[in-house]
A and B are shown apart, each in its own frame.
Chain A
Amino acid sequence: MSRYFYYLTFINTIASLVASMPKILLMNREGGAIVSILISIPLGLVVCYLIGRFYQAFPGKGLPELMDDYIPKFFKILFLLVIGIVWFAAGLLSVITYSFFIKRFLSPNANLIYIVSLILLFIYYGALMKTKNILYVLEIIFVLAAPMILLLISKAFTNNYFEMDFVRESIMHIQNYPNYNAVCAAAFIFWGPANLLIFNRVLKKKQSMTWKSICTIGLVGTIVLLAGYFGPIGMLGFESIGMVVNPGMTTADTMVFRYGIIERVLFVALMFFLTITFASILTHWHVAVEVFKKVVYFKKLRWRKHNLTPHLFLIVFWITSVKVVTYLTEYQLVKYTSYFYNIFPFLLSAMLLVFWVIRRRAKA
């Protein structure tokens, strides 16, 4: 399995560790969060496997090209429009969540619009890159940031102040029914391969989805889920964690690099998670722009041999982000992220249906 497939998956996984996933799980900690986690792992892996197997059969082609051949045009345009909007929303939620983090923890005096614009300036440049080059950027970012994130996760669990008792107490709540919100939020981390709908265009070699790949993805996903759920509980207490607004970052704040250059782990965590979130936003919006290009394309909009349609989309994205960021509160953000995660299974089942139809027609 090409290593770029893993990068796409893992960037999604780690980026959701710092987004609202821990908060949604912890909101349900007294009502079946653990069972939800246990259900979501096989669910996520199964979907991941199906997606990988489908794209394996058509190397070098993205979903819009495949739909061109086998799906009626009207449905294709509708479906691509929905996908574009959903992917845009995914990137948008990541941008807003992280901007809130930065405003809260790093520079509280800065204007929120300024922070968002600074991030979006670089995303603007990045989303217009060629697809293959984005994969190279993902590789570099992952190689640089993943060891540090692994270090942070292990530091949380091997800390002196990590009380196993809190974790055990939370496990004792295991006999509850699972919650749909929690299952969706936890399973989302495995659904990075959905990005293959555009990125498969550059994976030209024949891939194979084996047991080993699934096990690796499952292992990493499980570690991330455990860290996202039990880490905050162990460091911040079981009952009172409901009062903490950002459990992920607050847990990072409780750790110290005693002999390190930077003492407060919070700043290190902020910087490294910024790079991963940046990569995640980049992939989401690149997919969104490419999908929208297939739906709406103005051939006449040119300026010196460059077509300006993707620029138009990105400017629309930018304006929407700025408007939304000034409108939302943190509580609304978590609520809408939860709704977003809840929509995803429906979208994925529609996508899997489309996959099945394409495969049937391709064989015939």
Chain B
Amino acid sequence: MASGSSSCHHSSWIHTFWHEMTSFGNDKHKPSLDWKVERKRYSLRQEEGGVLYMRRVKEVEPIHEVISLITEKFQTSFDFIEKKLHIDEKTAVLLYIKTVVNGADLQEFIIKPFFELPTEHHYKSYLTSLPQQQEIKGKEQILDEMTRGSIVIIIQGSLLLLDIKKVHTDSVQQVNLEPTIQGPELALSEDIATNINLIRQRYHKPSLVVEIQEIGGKSNQSLAIIYDSQSVNDAVLEKIKNKITIIKHTPLIQTTAEMQRLLNEKKRSLLPISMLTERTDRIIYNIAGGKVVLLLDGNPVSLIAPAVFFDFMSATEDNYRPFYLTIFNKSLRYLGLIICLTLPALYVAITSYNPEVFRFELALSVSGSRIGVPYPSFIEVLFMLIVMELLIEASIRLPKVIAGTATTVGGLILGTAATEAALTSTIMIIIVSAMAISTFVIPINEMGFAIRIIKYGVLLFATIGGLLGLVLFMLGLFMYMANMDSFGEPYFKLFLQRKTAEIEGDKT
């Protein structure tokens, strides 16, 4: 990225490094409500490739070098404007990228006062007292900020940087992935500033900390780390920050879902260890509980870490409803989970290995409904499951106009006609539909998808081992989940004591 002449490069690197060294200690003393902008030192280091050494050199960057660098970088883009303002003896030069700058603000706060204030000195004092002014930390930072919508003003021989960016994506959206019946209906927007605003407006505590970092080697997105400094679990926070520094180098991080995958230590994992949500009330609830929330610019979905297995089975409504309703709902969800996992496997295990387990009438009925079906039971089950999976995948991508057709195809044709053609038995249809419906009882989607895959494992072991294989695989699943940990928190531990006692002190 930095491809200027070597001396220029060298000096800016040292300047950067020096600034880094001195500002490192200062961060702690700043009040935490400030926005922090971290150094982008990755690209420089990679290209240097050599040993870092520190020389105490104090340099002021010549302004014309900066200007020439800026114009050199942006001159091929059509939206780069270099404007000179001049009246009587006042001159100022504006450098900005027009598509990301707020035209109204530009007119109101920059151009108009220039012509109203008497001298350059006044104008400079005015500009330096504007809240939109940003601290200049180096050439790279100036270029970076310009791409975000800041304007560079050259006045009285010095450079000023002001932030007047325009964002189009800040409309607050409606909740569409996790609806509730009675709860807040507004979800996060796609702009990070609006999101932080939404969160702060719900959590009026000074201990709420918002830290900003930049990640993504090529796309340079802003990442906000939000937590409540009084109740956060420090070990978890450490871990998350370490992981973020490790994954910073990935070229493109588009969504929080991708972040979720990158934050996982294991390269190949099945079960999610952090939660994605678009609801503000869930975010607040988790922040108050001591978790860390990550927001990525350009995404309406936030990431909550750490998350254990039982978090994925709780919906936001659990806190809003009366006690017994909540208990009923929770048991229903767990029942749905068990049905989804074991029902097809149970069918195979019982019809093909031990039909004497269930009642006689059921055995006779199953036997009768399998008259004429050519394949053994597990192929029949597999066939129906695959068809159901195809149906679900297709309905995600269907354009709205064809949605109705797909339902008809799935319901009528696959269901009734398959039975009539003796490809499957009627009992199989009931089992598959019960299982499909109960998959969606799980509130969080990632867990639902993971469960959909795990049930093929259960099916496999029930096929080769009957009831024994089924029970053993479920035990194996418990062991696998107990062996996972989500950023240091045990994944599958029952919280039988009070939650605070479990989290604060060590376990057992």
Q: Which residues of A are interface residues toward B (Cβ below 8 A)?
A: 2-4, 102, 106-107, 110, 115, 118-119, 121-122, 125-126, 129-130, 132-137, 139-141, 143, 202-205, 261-264, 267, 271, 274-275, 278
Are A118 and B482 closer than 8 Å at their CB atoms? no
B328 within 8 A of A: no
> Knowing A136-B493, A264-B356 touch, does A118 contact B476 (C-beta < 8 A)?
no
Is residue B64 within 8 Å, beta carbon to beta carbon, of the partner chain?
no
Complex alpha-carbon distance, A263 and B363, angstroms: 13
A3 to B505, CA, bound (A): 16
Q: A278 vs B356: C-alpha distance in the bound complex, in angstroms?
A: 24
B483 on the A face (CB < 8 A): yes
Knowing that A2-B508, A122-B473, A263-B358 touch, tell me 12 more A-B residue pairs with CB under 8 angstroms. Answer: A107-B353, A107-B354, A115-B468, A119-B472, A121-B472, A122-B472, A125-B476, A136-B493, A137-B482, A204-B506, A264-B357, A278-B472
**Residue among A133, A261, A267 making CB contact with B354, cutoff 8 Å:** A267
Cα separation A85 to B354 with both chains bound (whole Å): 37
Complex contact B482–A202 (CB within 8 A): no
Please tell me if the beta carbons of B479 and A129 are within 8 angstroms of each other in the complex: yes
CB of A102 within 8 A of CB of B468, answer: yes
Candidate in A102, A115, A125, A137 with the most chain B CB atoms within 10 angstroms: A137
Give the complex CA separation of A260 and B471 in angstroms: 20
| CB-CB nearest in chain B for A3 | B496
User: Which B residues are in CB contact (< 8 Å) with A130?
Assistant: 483
A-B contact pairs, 20 of them (CB 8 A): A3-B496, A107-B353, A122-B476, A122-B479, A130-B483, A132-B508, A137-B482, A137-B492, A139-B496, A141-B478, A143-B494, A202-B507, A204-B506, A205-B508, A262-B357, A267-B357, A267-B467, A271-B467, A271-B471, A274-B472
A129: contacting residue among B359, B467, B482, B496, CB under 8 A: B482
Q: B482 near A133 (CB under 8 angstroms)?
A: yes
Q: Which residues does chain B contribute within 8 Å of A203, judged by CB atoms?
A: 508
Distance of A143 Cα from B495 Cα, bound (Å): 12
Does the CB pair B467–A261 fall under 8 Å?
no
- What CA separation (Å) do A269 and B420 show in the bound complex? 39
Q: Would you call B466 an interface residue if the criterion is a C-beta within 8 Å of the partner chain's C-beta atoms?
A: yes
Name A122's contact: one of B354, B475, B483, B507 (CB within 8 Å): B475
Q: Which residues of A contact B496 (CB under 8 A)?
A: 3, 139
Chain B residues, Cβ within 8 Å of A274: 468, 471-472
In chain B, positions 484-503 with a C-beta closer than 8 Å to chain A are 490, 492-494, 496
B75 CB, min distance to chain A CBs, angstroms: 52
Name the A residues within 8 Å of B472 (CB-CB): 118-119, 121-122, 274, 278
B469 at the interface (CB under 8 A from A): yes
B446-481 contacts to A, CB under 8 A, are 465-469, 471-473, 475-476, 478-480
Q: Which residue of B lies closest to A267 (CB)?
A: B357
**For residues 409 through 431 of chain B, which have their beta carbon under 8 Å from a beta carbon of chain A?**
none
Min distance, Cβ A358 to any Cβ of chain B, angstroms: 22
A140 neighbours in B (Cβ, 8 Å): 478, 482, 492, 494
A328 nearest CB across to chain B (Å)? 20
A364 to chain B, nearest CB (A): 30
* Complexed CA–CA distance, A133 and B491 (Å): 9
B-side contacts of A261, CB under 8 Å? 358
Distance in angstroms between the alpha carbons of A203 and B354 in the assembled complex: 43
Q: What residues of A have a CB within 8 angstroms of the CB of B490 in the complex?
A: 132-133, 136
B300 CB to nearest chain A CB (Å): 35
Chain B, residues 196-225, CB within 8 Å of chain A (1/0): the string is 000000000000000000000000000000
